[in-house]
Structure formats: structure tokens, C-alpha cells
Amino acid sequence: MFSSFVFPLLLLFSFYDMPSDAQKKKETLLSEKVGQMMEWASKRSIIKLNGDKFRRFVKAPPRNYSVVIMFTALQPQRQCGVCRQADEEFHILANSWRYSSAFTNKVFFASVDFDEGSDVFQMLSMNSAPTFLHFPAKGKQRKTDNYELQVRGFAAEQLARWVADRTDVHIRVIRPPNYAGPLLLGFLLAVIGGLAYLRRHNLEFLFNKNVWAFSALCFVLIMTSGQMWNHIRGPPYAHKNPNTGQVSYIHGSSQAQFVAETHIVLLFNGAVTMGMVLLCEAATSDMDIGKRKILCVAGIGLVMLFFSWLLSIFRAKYHGYPYSFLMS
Ligand SMILES: *[C@@H]1O[C@H](CO)[C@@H](O)[C@H](O)[C@H]1NC(C)=O
């Protein structure tokens, strides 16, 4: 009597136990996928997908993350000017998310270019670019997961509103300032033009060693402070925490940087170089001994102060770096 009651119960339990293996497999597959997406996201704020990657990481289950995808055609021969503008705005949005302190593996930004994944365009029977689609973490795609580009435009702020509506992730759009380059160029041209004008009767300064040394130094400082990285990745100038209102100029990890950070590093490198130049002057110039002593002390001070400051910034970014000097 009892056993006839227990047996089916046992059967039931064993039945419920069986999928656990499949469950485990699914779990490892999921964490593999999330890990891969995070790795891509750490390299670029917009993950590039081709047909294979789209099927594996977006279409195929399991998936517990949302993906916002821009379908576009950026190859020059496609002559899609709108794609280019939309791409810029999408980059601003994705960077604002990627470098925000709220960044998680809940939402990823990706793009599919027609020339790398035309099969995806076919699969979704899509025939215009740019198009923005949201692939929700759970459930089916709804009509609102297709962004109404014609109605709302492609400004990063509008896209952010749509993403917030679809995913509950609120992104504060931070636009990088883009007047630094032209301003610097204008300043340089003005200095050169001014010099040439002042010395229009005597252009010997062109053969001046110091002028060339100074130009070379400027070039080296600009190139070694990470301006190229900024140019390619387009990070924000600094980050303001929307909750506390605190602004951080140094990104807390060695994986990324803010534009402000490169300016700070440039300044510090410049100060260390200045200290070195002063020390050289103190050793070799034919000024009187009192002045040379002052130069020497100033040079040592500059080098020590800014070198230790640089080291402390490096330590803050590269956790576990063992060496410090004066400042911790
Ligand atoms: C999705 O699942 C993976 C693996 O279990 C986990 O590491 C990750 O935090 C999950 N993501 C979200 C948004 O819950």
C-alpha cells in the first residue's frame, strides 16, 4: 500500500532531477557567452557582429542580457550619410554607458554592418539602414523594440530614452567636447605666424636649436600621453556620478581613460621634463653660482614632486603595483 504510493513519487523526483545536467550545461554556456560579451565590451563600446556572432550571441538561447543593435551600412560605396551620423550618436550613447559607473552586463550595444552580415539583414527581412533594434533579455520582441527612427531621430539622448524605456537602464549621455583639436591647431598657427611676422626681416630663428628642441618635446609629450587612444576610442572628458554629483577625472582601471586624464598626464610629464632641463642648465650654464643653485633645487623639486604624483596615479589605476615614491 505504502510502496505503491512512494514509487510514483520517487519516479517524479527522478524525473525532476534529470534535467539538472542540461541545466548545468545551459548555465556554463550562458556564463561563457556573458564572459565573451564582457570581453568584447571592454575592447570597444559597440560590439561588431557578423552573421555567426549574431546567431550565437543574440538569436540563440540562453541569454540573460539585452542587446541593442544598430543595423547599418558604413562602407563608403554604400554612400549612406545618415548611417555615419547615426553611428556617431550611437557611439556617444554606447560610450556614455560603457564608461559610466553603473555599467553592468545587463545591456550590450552592438552593430551589424550590411557588408559583414547581409545574411542577418535577410533573416530579419530588413531593407533599410540605419535601423535600431532591441533584443530583450526575456520574452519576445515587441513592436516598440523597433526604434522609430523617422519619428524620433537618432540623437543619442532620444536613443537613451528609448533604451531606458525598453530595459530599465538609464544612461546619462555625455558628449565629448570636440573643440580641443581645432583650438590647439589655431593656437599653434597663431604662435608660428606671430613669430614669423616679428622676425620677418631675420628668419634665422628657423635654424635655432631651441625652437626645434621645444617642438620635438611638444610632439613627444602629446604622443606619449594617450591622445591617440582618445582619438580612436572617443572616451568622455570626465565622468560625473549622477547620484553623488562627484566628478572623476581619472578612470579607476587600467582598461580605460578619460580625456582629462591624458591632459593631467601630459602636464605632469611636462613638469618632469622641465625639471630635467633645469638640472641640465644648472650643470652646464655659465651663470653665477647662486643662480645655478636655485635652478638645481627647483629642478630636483619638480622632478621629485611630479614623478611621485605620476606614480601615485599609476598605482590608482593599476591595482597591485608595488612601487611608490613620496606619495602613496
Ligand atoms: C547572466 O548570467 C550569468 C551567468 O550565470 C551571470 O554571471 C550574469 O550576472 C547574469 N546577468 C544578469 C544581468 O543577471
The winner for highest mean pLDDT among 33-47, 137-151, 179-193 is 33-47
For the Cβ of 168 lying below 6 angstroms from any atom of ligand 1, the answer is: no
Following DSSP, what letter does each residue of 253-306 receive, concatenated? STT---HHHHHHHHHHHHHHHHHHHHHHHHHH--S-HHHHHHHHHHHHHHHHHH
For the Cβ of 24 lying below 6 angstroms from any atom of ligand 1, the answer is: no
Closest atom of ligand 1 to 106 CA is 13
Give the model's pLDDT for residue 153: 82
Cell, residue 181: 583639436
Q: Could you tell me how many helices (H) and strands (E) the chain has, helices first?
A: 12, 6
* pLDDT tier at 84, thresholds 50, 70, 90: confident
Distance between Cα 311 and ligand 1 center (Å):
36
CB-CB contact of 266 with 221 (8 Å) = yes
Nearest Cα to Cα of residue 307 among 277, 269, 281: 269
Distance between Cα 288 and ligand 1 center (Å):
70
Which element (helix H / strand E) includes 239? strand 239-240
What does the pLDDT look like over 182-206, one tens digit per residue? 888 899 899 988 888 887 877 777 7
| For residues 164-183, average pLDDT | 85
Task: Please tell me what DSSP assigns to residue 320.
Answer: T
Pairing of strands 131-135, 239-240: unpaired
Give the model's pLDDT for residue 192: 86
Nearest Cα to Cα of residue 74 among 126, 119, 123, 116: 116
Nearest Cα to Cα of residue 306 among 283, 278, 275, 262: 275
Residue nearest to atom 13 of ligand 1 (CA): 106
Nearest Cα to Cα of residue 107 among 96, 116, 117: 96
Mutate to test the pocket of ligand 1, among 27, 34, 103 (most ligand atoms within 8 A of CB): 34
pLDDT score of 3 more than 90: no
